[in-house]
């Protein structure tokens, strides 16, 4: 018996050790990989294509709730938990591919878990029945809180012969969808199975729990302890520091905290300082954030903006930071806690934010680092904070630049109302340009962050490691011009030894985009089983410009037979590398229309399939593109020209492992690099 008990304990220990809410001394930065209506930017393939770049700066990427919601959605009207992962951001196959690619690059994917409420089908209380791994999961009307929707659901249930739970909500009510009764054993069992599936099947590394004010913190603790997740953060939306700390404590299981929380108190302090340009507020507020509390900074996921606070449009202004966005992020990345960067900020201020993250990494700041105020001047309107990392000290001087940076620090990044400096004890090289893609020649200034007076720098441009005998020696402050793809490595050269080496990868894009034509084919829907009377293309592009007129678009009469099958078709010009077209195929002003077909930038074939609320559309390009015969076999994408677009089409075929005849330009029996060379030859001719 003793031996069995010991074995069981050994098996349980890893689970108990992992379920700690958030790792201690964690040095990663998280990216919120979406913003409101970011359906283009957050497509799974688009995020996946950025994996190499993201991996240099982020260890975690939080993505939207990825289950199907029954229509275009940001994921907060969750419908399917187990059986349907074709969402507004891509297919299940694309989701799995992205998560796996991120994992291989060292990035963990954080799932948005929405279990406070759930969407129903057909009526107020009917949920979808799902089967997963041979188990049927069915949520019942009795799994809905009795006081849901302020009692409106109970009224409907009584009128329709349905019974709700006998239990009231354990948190705040939220109208619009059914609030789940987490006291229900069925709800608990389903949530447990759901979060385990997210980790063990889909490959997520952790959870962001939505609207945790809606149910008792103890249930988040229960679900995390069961799943053994290492990363969990709750959206307890409250600016009161004590309230957020109480929620964190409420997740404890056997005395162990099971979840971190978003640091809303910190967010509100930096919002007010930035919007009002009153930087001394950072020191005078009584609610400075969990990130400055010794016992809670580990569980502080800090941020300055998210999808709920961002400015959306003139009618939905929300509560954004309206100015000093770069400065707000500079302060965020100086502080303890785990910083979460907002995708729109990353897109708009990428070069600056990269430099801020580099500084944090070089200083070795973690979520439990010690941070304290150095100066706070009401008259001068500046505030200076420094955080002690494992490798050095990082300083953020906010506001008026009249504050003099001490001689023991080197300023490495600066902008309106902020300067970031590293202590000379960091002993590292620094480059004025982060890794990334640039147009034309760039000038990179090299800096020695060192206590050694007159320290030299040594660099290479071929990716080799600089040594005392390998590389170019230069003085502190020297600049180099980079005009082609380059891997820069630069280090400190002190007393014949090289240390503090940093690496920067530069991609210089000197190419000119060549517009090309695509054709969008629709398999004839005028025959059985659809029997449409007319075929309309309603079209809009990536800038929301309409083509073929307002809704419902324009009737299409051009047809073409491909491999014995009749297709309707239209042609469009692709005018930029990020340009794309969107479609709704329809039968005119009636309700007979398809779902949205989006992000099309190459010749494609589609088929109208089943109809529910809207007709579904199947992509059948792989089936028919090989038979799109053209006069020139090198015209892979069928745009009547041989150009760079054909090379890109071949690359797509190679990556997809597609041996379709249309890609076999040189007729050697397979699609490979030789076909790309053949297309290049055709272009040069």
CATH of the domain at 469: 2.60.40.10
128 lies in a domain? no
Average pLDDT over residues 486-491: 98
User: What pLDDT is recorded for position 10?
Assistant: 41
157 lies in a domain? no
Of all residues in the chain, the percent with pLDDT exceeding 70 is 94
Give, to the nearest 10 degrees, the angle between helix 264-276 and helix 241-250.
160
287 phi, psi to nearest 5 deg: -110, 80
322 lies in a domain? no
440 and 582 assigned to the same domain = no
Range with lowest mean pLDDT among 103-107, 186-190, 347-351, 615-619: 615-619
21 and 111 assigned to the same domain = yes
Contact between 474 and 457 (Cβ < 8 Å): yes
**pLDDT, tens only, 365-391:** 999 999 999 999 988 899 999 999 999
Average pLDDT over residues 642-669: 73
User: What pLDDT is recorded for position 115?
Assistant: 98
pLDDT at 4 over 70: no
Separation CA 500–CA 492 (nearest Å)? 6
Q: Confidence class of residue 598 from pLDDT cuts 50, 70 and 90?
A: confident
pLDDT at 155 over 90: yes
**pLDDT, tens only, 166-177:** 999 999 998 889
225 and 193 assigned to the same domain = yes
pLDDT at 339 over 60: yes
pLDDT at 635 over 80: no
591 lies in a domain? yes
User: What pLDDT is recorded for position 640?
Assistant: 58
User: What pLDDT is recorded for position 596?
Assistant: 84
Contact between 646 and 619 (Cβ < 8 Å): no
Single out the residue in 626, 644, 673 at which a domain terminates.
626
Range with lowest mean pLDDT among 146-160, 437-451, 580-594: 580-594
527 and 447 assigned to the same domain = no
User: What pLDDT is recorded for position 611?
Assistant: 66
Single out the residue in 458, 486, 508 at which a domain terminates.
508
Return the CATH number at 666. 1.10.1330
126 lies in a domain? no
499 lies in a domain? yes
User: Count of CB atoms within 10 A of residue 321's CB?
Assistant: 23
In a 3-state reduction of DSSP, which class is residue 393? strand
Q: Confidence class of residue 599 from pLDDT cuts 50, 70 and 90?
A: confident
**pLDDT, tens only, 41-85:** 999 999 999 999 999 999 999 999 999 998 889 999 999 999 999
Q: Confidence class of residue 17 from pLDDT cuts 50, 70 and 90?
A: very low
> How many folded domains does the chain comprise?
4
Q: Confidence class of residue 483 from pLDDT cuts 50, 70 and 90?
A: very high
- Domain residues for 608? 516-626
81 and 205 assigned to the same domain = yes
Q: Could you write out the three-class secondary structure of 133-151?
A: CCEEECCCHHHECCCHHHH
pLDDT at 1 over 60: no
In a 3-state reduction of DSSP, which class is residue 460? strand
69 and 196 assigned to the same domain = yes
User: What pLDDT is recorded for position 349?
Assistant: 97
Separation CA 68–CA 90 (nearest Å)? 10
Separation CA 292–CA 316 (nearest Å)? 32
Torsion angle of alpha carbons 125, 128, 134, 135, nearest 10°? Answer: -20
210 and 95 assigned to the same domain = yes
559 and 522 assigned to the same domain = yes
633 lies in a domain? yes
494 and 560 assigned to the same domain = no
479 and 533 assigned to the same domain = no
**pLDDT, tens only, 393-444:** 999 999 999 999 999 999 999 999 999 999 999 999 999 999 999 999 999 9
Single out the residue in 584, 602, 626 at which a domain terminates.
626
Average pLDDT over residues 221-240: 98
Token representation of residue 484: 């082609």
Return the CATH number at 197. 3.20.20.80
pLDDT at 637 over 80: no
Please name the residues in contact with 315: beta carbons below 8 A apart, sequence gap of 6 or more: none
pLDDT at 665 over 80: no
197 and 86 assigned to the same domain = yes
String of DSSP letters for 515-540: -EEEEEEEE--SSTTT--S--EEEEE
Of all residues in the chain, the percent with pLDDT exceeding 90 is 78
pLDDT at 631 over 70: no
Cis status, amide bond into 307, omega within 30 of 0: no
Separation CA 117–CA 17 (nearest Å)? 30
pLDDT at 9 over 50: no
User: What pLDDT is recorded for position 3?
Assistant: 38
281 lies in a domain? no
Separation CA 317–CA 302 (nearest Å)? 22
Beta pairing, strands 428-431 & 456-460: unpaired
Which helix H or strand E contains 497, and what residues bound it? strand 497-508
83 and 217 assigned to the same domain = yes
User: What pLDDT is recorded for position 681?
Assistant: 77
């Amino acid at each position: 018996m003793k031996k069995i008990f010991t074995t069981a304990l050994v098996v349980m220990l890893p689970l108990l050790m992992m379920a700690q809410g958030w790792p201690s001394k964690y040095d990663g930065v998280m990216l919120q990989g979406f913003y409101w209506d970011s359906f283009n930017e957050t497509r799974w393939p688009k995020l996946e294509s950025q994996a190499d770049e993201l991996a240099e700066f982020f260890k975690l990427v939080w993505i939207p709730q990825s289950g199907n919601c029954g229509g275009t959605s940001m994921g907060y009207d969750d419908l399917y938990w187990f059986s349907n992962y074709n969402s507004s951001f891509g297919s299940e196959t694309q989701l799995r591919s992205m998560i796996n690619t991120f994992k291989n690059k060292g990035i963990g994917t954080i799932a948005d878990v929405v279990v406070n409420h759930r969407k129903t089908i057909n009526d107020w209380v009917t949920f979808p029945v799902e089967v997963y791994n041979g188990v049927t999961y069915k949520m019942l009307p009795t799994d809905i809180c009795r006081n849901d929707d302020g009692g409106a659901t109970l009224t409907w249930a009584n009128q329709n012969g349905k019974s709700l739970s006998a239990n009231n909500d354990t948190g705040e009510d939220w109208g619009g969808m059914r609030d789940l009764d987490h006291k229900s054993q069925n709800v608990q069992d389903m949530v447990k199975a759901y979060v385990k599936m997210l980790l063990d099947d889909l490959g997520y590394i952790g959870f962001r729990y939505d609207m945790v004010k809606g149910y008792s913190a103890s249930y988040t603790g229960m679900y995390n302890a069961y799943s053994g997740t290492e990363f969990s953060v709750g959206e307890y939306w409250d600016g009161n520091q004590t309230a957020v700390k109480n929620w964190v404590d409420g997740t404890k299981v056997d005395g162990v905290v099971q979840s971190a929380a978003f640091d809303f108190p910190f967010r509100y302090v930096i919002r007010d300082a930035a919007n009002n340009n009153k930087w001394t507020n950072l020191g005078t507020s009584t609610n400075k954030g969990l990130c400055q509390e010794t016992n809670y900074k580990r569980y502080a996921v800090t941020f300055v903006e998210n999808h709920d606070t961002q400015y959306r449009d003139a009618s939905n202004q929300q509560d954004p930071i309206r100015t000093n966005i770069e400065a707000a992020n500079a302060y965020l990345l100086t502080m303890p806690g785990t910083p979460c960067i907002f995708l729109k900020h990353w897109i708009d201020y990428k070069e600056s934010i990269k430099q801020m993250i580099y500084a944090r990494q070089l200083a070795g700041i973690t979520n439990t680092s010690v941070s304290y105020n150095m100066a706070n001047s009401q008259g001068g309107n500046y505030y200076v904070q420094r955080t002690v990392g494992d490798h050095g000290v990082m300083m953020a001087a906010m506001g008026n630049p009249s504050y003099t940076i001490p001689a023991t620090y080197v300023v490495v990044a600066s902008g309106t109302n902020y300067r970031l400096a590293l202590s000379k004890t960091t002993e590292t090289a620094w480059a004025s340009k982060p890794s990334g893609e640039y147009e034309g020649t760039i000038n990179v200034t090299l800096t020695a962050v060192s206590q050694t007076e007159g320290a030299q720098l040594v660099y290479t441009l071929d990716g080799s490691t600089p040594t005392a005998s390998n590389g170019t020696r230069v003085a502190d402050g020297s600049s180099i011009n980079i005009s082609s793809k380059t891997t820069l490595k630069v280090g400190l050269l002190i007393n014949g030894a090289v240390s503090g080496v940093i690496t920067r990868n530069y991609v210089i894009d000197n190419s000119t985009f060549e517009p090309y034509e695509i054709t969008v084919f629709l398999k004839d829907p005028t025959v059985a089983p659809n029997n449409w009377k007319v075929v309309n293309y309603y079209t809009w592009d990536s800038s929301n410009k309409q083509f073929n007129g307002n809704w419902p678009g324009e009737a299409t009469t051009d047809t073409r037979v491909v491999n014995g099958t009749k297709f309707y078709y239209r042609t469009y010009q692709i005018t930029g590398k990020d340009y794309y077209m969107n479609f709704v195929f329809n039968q005119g002003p009636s309700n007979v229309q398809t779902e949205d077909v989006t992000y099309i930038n190459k010749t494609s074939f589609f088929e109208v399939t089943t109809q529910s609320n809207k007709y579904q559309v199947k992509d059948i390009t792989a089936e028919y593109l090989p038979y799109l015969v053209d006069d020139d076999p090198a015209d892979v994408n069928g745009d009547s020209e041989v150009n760079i677009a054909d090379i890109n089409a071949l690359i797509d075929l190679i990556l997809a492992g597609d041996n379709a005849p249309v890609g076999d330009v040189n007729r050697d029996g397979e699609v490979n690099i030789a076909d790309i060379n053949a297309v290049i030859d055709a272009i040069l001719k």
